[in-house]
């Protein structure tokens, strides 16, 4: 199985080492996590930045992508695992995290699913790290690995 995380913006060094640890763990559990970093929009207004980022996201994200967005539906770790479990072993699933301004309505409408990480407002970098950890957790649930404890 191949998971692709498409994110707008570069990872800050404060979080990079932790993110890298989780990404390395995927390889030892038979799943690949590919990270695709897109540049942030440079427009002066939020709408301009979102439009620039939309073009990049649509160039990379495959149909059926799952978007992380504040307007999305909250899901438990087990529900994330159920989503992975339902995929074919050779499947590729794209996950998208927009920029710090969020995403355009078009990106939201084209997403197959829209998930929320929390009712809280999270820093963009922390949200990215949380997604990587939760994808790893979901994969270990699927594999029956003891990482996830309830």
Domains located in the chain, CATH noted: 2-143 (3.40.1280.10)
Tokens for 134, please give them.
């939760």
pLDDT of residue 41: 93
pLDDT of residue 12: 84
Tokens for 79, please give them.
């529900």
pLDDT of residue 29: 67
**What are the pLDDT tens digits along the chain (150 aa)?**
899 999 999 888 888 999 999 988 887 767 889 999 999 999 999 999 999 999 999 999 999 999 999 899 999 999 999 999 999 878 999 999 999 999 999 999 999 999 999 999 888 889 999 999 999 999 999 999 888 876
Q: Phi, psi (5° rounding) for residue 62?
A: -85, 155
Predicted TM-score (pTM) of the model is 0.93
**Three-class DSSP category at 115:** strand
> Could you tell me which residues are beta bridge partners of residue 4?
34, 94
* Phi-psi domain of 40 (left: phi exceeds 0; alpha: psi -120 through 50; beta: other): beta
pLDDT of residue 82: 96
Tokens for 63, please give them.
């149909």
Specify whether the CB–CB gap between 99 and 8 falls below 8 A. Answer: yes
pLDDT of residue 39: 95
Q: Report the 3 state secondary structure along 26-77.
A: HHCCCCEEEEEEECCCCCCCHHHHHHHHHHHHHHHCCCCCEEEEEEEEECCH
């Amino acid at each position: 199985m191949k998971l692709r995380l498409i994110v707008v913006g570069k990872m800050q060094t404060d979080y990079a080492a932790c993110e890298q640890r989780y990404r390395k763990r995927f390889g030892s559990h038979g799943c690949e996590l590919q990270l695709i970093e897109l540049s942030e929009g440079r427009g002066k207004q939020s709408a301009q930045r979102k439009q620039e980022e939309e073009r990049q996201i649509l160039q990379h994200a495959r149909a059926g992508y799952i978007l992380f967005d504040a307007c999305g539906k909250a899901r438990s770790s087990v529900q994330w695992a159920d989503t992975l479990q339902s995929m074919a072993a050779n499947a590729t699933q794209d996950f998208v995290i927009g920029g710090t301004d969020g995403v355009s309505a078009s990106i939201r409408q084209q997403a197959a699913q829209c998930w929320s990480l929390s009712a809280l407002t999270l820093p963009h970098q922390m949200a990215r790290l949380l997604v990587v950890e939760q994808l790893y957790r979901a994969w270990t649930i699927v594999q029956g690995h003891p990482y996830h404890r309830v």
